[in-house]
Structure 1
Amino acid sequence: MKIKNVTVFGSGVLGAQIAFQTAYHGYRVTLFDIKEELLEQAKLKFEQFKQYYQQDLNAAPADLDAAVTRISFTTDLAGSVKDADLTIEAIPESIQIKKDFYKKLSPLAPAKTIFCTNSSTLLPSQFAAETGRPERFLALHFANYLWKNNVAEIMGHDGTDHEIFDQVVQFAKTIGMLTIPIYKEQPGYVMNSLLVPWLIAGLDLYRNGVADAASIDKTWMKTVGADLGPMAMADLVGMTTAYNVTKSYAELTGEEVWEKRRDFLKENFIDKNKLGISTGEGFYTYPNPAYQNADFLK
């Protein structure tokens, strides 16, 4: 089966990026969300993406305009998948929300449709049964700023058809991704198996009063020559995502330390609307955070 029509569920941070990147590479894309206002927000994001693609990729304005014309918008779940060859789900990182969603989706999609989840922490096997087509279901996980950080992790579960797995790997390549096939289910995949411990190490240093955010980042940036430290990265990723990760790990492991991390983020950031760059404050204040100052490492 040749993939032509792609449906993306969820128009949030990554959903909007996935839709735009896929359309930019020539696919017809349907973007689904539960409210019209969310789709209107996505249209505004696409205008921002045009600027980013010109700056970072030297993309031609005509090609970017053409990408937008290949995207349709809908709040009708059945209509969104009636012709779908491939779907990519980027809805909230909650096992129950995803299970409920796939139960609704399963009877609506054609038999040909491949289901992919963009989940960053959950395993495909945790909700494969709810898809109604476990052999055609797997994870396709993208990094934030995916036009630039163009990595896609592809991870099946024991019931995923090998041909479907290979087909999704090839699809990811056609939309400009560096593909990372993962051959065994792994919480956090490759990317977050490396990233999360680093972010959590920074969080624990801060949470336990060992050092302030700037000192933690300065240490990392100076010693390894990095542009960002873990605290700045947490602001970039967003505290909501960081909180959801700690919440998922607390549920998966039952370990008290993950519960303490979850509760710390909730009390000090989520409840205070300090969600990172998106709200203008996290570990740093925005715009013009301290780590961007020329003398930050002096």
Structure 2
Amino acid sequence: MTDQFTPAIGLGNCHVQTVFGRVHRPVPWIETQCRWYETPDGDCLALLTPRPLVDDPDLPLVLILHGLAGSVASPYVQGMMDSLLSHRYQVAVMHFRGCGGVPNRLPRAYHSGDSEDPRWMVEQLRGELPATPIMVVGYSLGGNVLLKMLGEDGSCSPVAAAVAISSPMDLHACSRKINTGLSKLYQRHLLSCLRLTLKKKAEDPCIAAALPNVEDATFFANFRCFDDTFTAPLHGFRDADDYYTRASSKHLLREIGVPTMIINSVDDPFVCPSAIPEKKEVSSMVQLEVTLQGGHVGFVSGSLWRPNYWLEHKVPKFLDSAILRDKG
């Protein structure tokens, strides 16, 4: 266990860490342009960039994968974009299907094991930018998706380096964790966001016919109910248990073949400590950064008056080192 992160004075509580950034930086400050990609199954994916992408081996591209109900406007995404741009990286954010306020075309949406879409997006970017190193940073759900993709692809992955932050790598354990104590408040908020998204999708009669009744509140009682009712049947899983088993990334971490950093906090209100891997459970290409504090996608150091977002220094530093290793 490493603990290089020290929380800001007055911000040591895990829940304060988790919500502080959303309160401190509530308004997006980086403008982006959106480009739509037509997927092979007839759906669409949005890629958002603050600047036009160029093919340059000296300007690596970092693809950011947001968390559940997140988007390019999420404060943690905005902050990381800002930091990466200042470190001379190109940046792009992939919206998972139906995120960012625009419903996708198909009844299916996205889920914690949805590695096919980011893999496909990386392939598109590799075709457009053949000389440019492509790296990926994933948060929460996006982090688990990223780790699953890296584990599935092994040493054949086109990704040059990756960072996964606050990832729920064991979905069985994490679904239980978020259904206890104060963590239920986050569960309620996220399920409310998902319900609104589904209601918007259900305005299309063809989509509505393929969905369970989005007006039935019992389907949104907790994540297990939601996943049994919506996630599993819409995405080819037998039930929530089958989904949690097949979508978890933890059992694939030994197969990762590219430089990868996994950052998790023991006090994360979303992620059960047992879901965080030990060194023996990951490949030699994986660097574990497990802190005692930090909450969920929090990691606010400095002070209450001058907060310092630790991740926005830690991540570029790791990516820089990966580039140097590759060139060396």
Compute the TM-score of the two structures, normalised by the length of structure 2: 0.27
Query: Which structure dedicates a bigger proportion of its chain to helix?
Result: 1
Q: Which has the higher contact order (CA 8 A, sep 6+)?
A: 2
Compute the TM-score of the two structures, normalised by the length of structure 1: 0.29
